[in-house]
Amino acid sequence: MSLIVSYEVTENVLIVRLVGELDHHEAEQLREEWAHKIYATGIKHIIVNLQDLTFMDSSGLGVLIGRYKEVLQLGGEMLVCHVNPFIERLFELSGLFKIVRLAENEKQALHTLGVAS
């Protein structure tokens, strides 16, 4: 019923894995923690793994867009992977794919970013 987040840094990429439900209640905490990780680790790109995200609404979109803007400032980009069909519909609807690229999995996403894993 709630959200569990784990972070991993590979070279200049922050991999964020979201497990559970991402709504407004969870978004508030995630936002702070995630923004802190970006600056504390000195990364440039972000890969978001949504494999075990069972729910997401527009508050979740807001957090993704907020972090996208941060890496954009750092000259980096954001990729999402393991997007289930329902979340893919949300992303389509909201135009998120205009700014965030889709990858199948973390490995492919790292490859796209030019990082060998």
Q: Which residues bind other proteins (CB under 8 A)?
A: 1-2, 21, 23-25, 27-28, 31, 55, 57-59, 61-63, 65-66, 86, 90, 93-95
- Tell me if 62 sits within 8 A of 90, measured CB to CB: no
- Nearest distance from C-beta of residue 11 to other proteins, angstroms: 27
- Nearest distance from C-beta of residue 53 to other proteins, angstroms: 12
Strand-by-strand arrangement of the 101-103 sheet: 3-10, 13-22, 45-56, 78-81, 101-103
Q: How many CB atoms lie within 10 A of CB 40?
A: 11
Written as six digits, the tokens of 1 are: 């019923």
> In terms of CB distance, is 74 or 88 closer to other proteins?
88
Residue type, 19: V
> In terms of CB distance, is 13 or 96 closer to other proteins?
96
- Nearest distance from C-beta of residue 66 to other proteins, angstroms: 4
Task: List phi, psi (to 5°) of 29.
Answer: -75, -40
- Nearest distance from C-beta of residue 90 to other proteins, angstroms: 7
> In terms of CB distance, is 11 or 32 closer to other proteins?
32
